Amino acid sequence: MFPKVHKFTSKTRRLYFGIALFLSAGSICGLVIDRTSGRSLSNFEYFKKGLTPDGLHYSVQTLRILDFSDLEILKLLKSQYDTTGIKVSEYFLNPAPWETALVDPRVLYSFLSVPFVKLFGANGMFIVPILSFILLTALPLLFTNYLSKNRLYFLAFSISVILVSSFYVKYNVLANTTDGLSSLLIVSLVMYLYLIQKRNNYGFTSIGIASVCLMACTTRQNEIYVFGILVIFLISGGMNSLKRHFVTVMVASFTIITWLVYSFNEFSNYRLITSSDGTSLSSGNLLIAVKDLVVDLPKTIFIELSQLWLRDQGIFLLILAAMFFLAYNKRIDFLSLSFLWCFLAGMTLTTINGGLGSGFRYALPAIFLGAIVILESAAQVIEKEKSKSAKA
């Protein structure tokens, strides 16, 4: 049923060769198709350098922590962005209130970048994304080596190659934004909880999970991801899990709620309940807003997946393969539910933001969790085949 990884028949070679050609075509498409609606690749330096308008806000935060004056900040960032075509203006020192409410709570990336900016200048903002990229793309290998019963090294290596070579992953994770760090923390939370379930390891559980949850929510507005993952963890193990982990999840939830209250008070963070331009989502009626969100969700999923297909067929196939394995195994476990939730949460955030054209960016954690679902599901298929063979 599932091909043995150590046998390379002529048919298998042709299959791998065909997949390689297909993935190469996807990478080429990723280089020539717009990353987001209304933004083209006419100035390739913008993409090659990984510099984004969003990144200016985080660089300003880091440089202010280092006691740079506003004049010094503008001079340094203008020099860094000189070849990108992005205009660095005083706006980034004092952005509009809605944008301030959006970016100011994202303190972790800027804080972690302080020592690297001190050592390497403004380009030090890329060190955290680079470390995130290394860990996220090595995740399949780490998972199959330490957490999976079956050592599917070849499959894990193949998936890691897809992730490493993906233009889509490289651009989103390696850019000077919070996307890479945010995805790493969300995936780490899932892996942490998965490890607890698998090994019944409860040492420092409450403090550890609460800390990861808090860090995830100080990179982006990730509360929708974090609360969903906690609920899935709590209910996926049945009544025994409810009793055993209730306090742990409550401590984590209390931590996130405390952060929400603080951020609303400190940053006027109405961004969590408004659209990206600062206008009210509810338009005076929250029920209508929720109804519109549900109605728009299928359209969002279709557009986002279509854009992902155009920009990177390799990642699109990875998501498709994860979905296929879930349908084939007919078994929904904690990992599977976490993958599906991150996919749905990303689509929901895209719908709320009205950001059709994000090209799956908000659902970025689902890509790396999808890779783990493939490995875990493949291991289950192999176990079934071994069991059938033993009985025969």
| Cβ-contact 311, 167 below 8 angstroms | yes
At 263 the pLDDT is 87
- Number of residues assigned to the chain: 392
Q: pLDDT value at position 248?
A: 85
Q: How far apart are CA 136 and CA 160, in angstroms?
A: 9
Indicate whether 3 belongs to any domain.
Answer: no
The pLDDT assigned to 37 comes to 33
Contact 377, 221 (CB under 8 A): no
For position 245, what pLDDT does the model report? Answer: 82
Whether the Cβ atoms of residue 175 and residue 129 lie closer than 8 Å to each other: yes
Backbone angles phi, psi at 36, to 5 degrees: -135, 160
Supply the pTM of this predicted model: 0.83
Q: What angle do CA 106, 107, 111 make, to 5 degrees?
A: 145
* Residue 34 within a domain: yes
| Residues 374 and 322: beta-carbon distance below 8 Å | yes
pLDDT for 5: 40
> Residue 153 to residues 161, 195, 375: CA-CA distances in angstroms?
12, 20, 10
The Cα 241–Cα 132 span in angstroms is: 31
**286, part of any domain:** yes
How buried is 164 (Cβ within 10 angstroms: 0-12 exposed, 13-18 middle, 19+ buried)?
A: middle
Contacts of 52 (CB under 8 A, 6+ apart): 46, 86, 175, 176, 177
d(CA 238, CA 312): 38
pLDDT tens for the chain, 392 residues long, are: 333 444 445 665 566 556 555 555 555 554 444 333 333 433 333 444 678 888 999 999 999 999 999 999 999 999 988 878 788 889 999 988 878 888 889 999 999 999 999 999 998 999 999 999 999 999 998 898 887 777 788 888 899 989 988 888 888 898 899 999 999 999 999 999 988 877 665 556 888 899 999 999 999 989 999 999 999 998 887 667 777 788 888 999 999 999 998 988 888 775 555 555 555 554 556 677 777 778 888 888 888 888 888 878 889 999 999 998 888 777 788 999 999 999 999 998 888 776 666 778 899 999 999 999 999 888 887 777 777 776 66
C-beta atoms surrounding 247 within 10 Å: 11
Domains contained in the chain, number = 1
The rounded distance, in Å, linking the Cα atoms of 218 and 108 is 6
φ/ψ of 237, rounded to 5, equals -95, 5
Tell me whether residue 276 is in a domain: no
243 part of a folded domain: yes
Position 68 scores a pLDDT of: 93
| pLDDT of the residue at 2 | 38
Q: In the chain, what is the straight-line distance between the N-terminal and C-terminal CA atoms, in Å?
A: 15
- CB distance 125 to 180 below 8 Å: no
Residue 4 included in any domain: no
Tell me what pLDDT residue 201 has. 58
Q: How far apart are CA 184 and CA 135, in angstroms?
A: 8
55, 62 Cβ separation under 8 angstroms = no
Assigned domain for 172 exists:
yes
Asked if residue 198 is part of any domain, the answer here is: yes
Which domain range does residue 21 map to? 10-271+281-391
pLDDT of 341 reads: 96
**Residue 220 structure tokens:** 């982006």
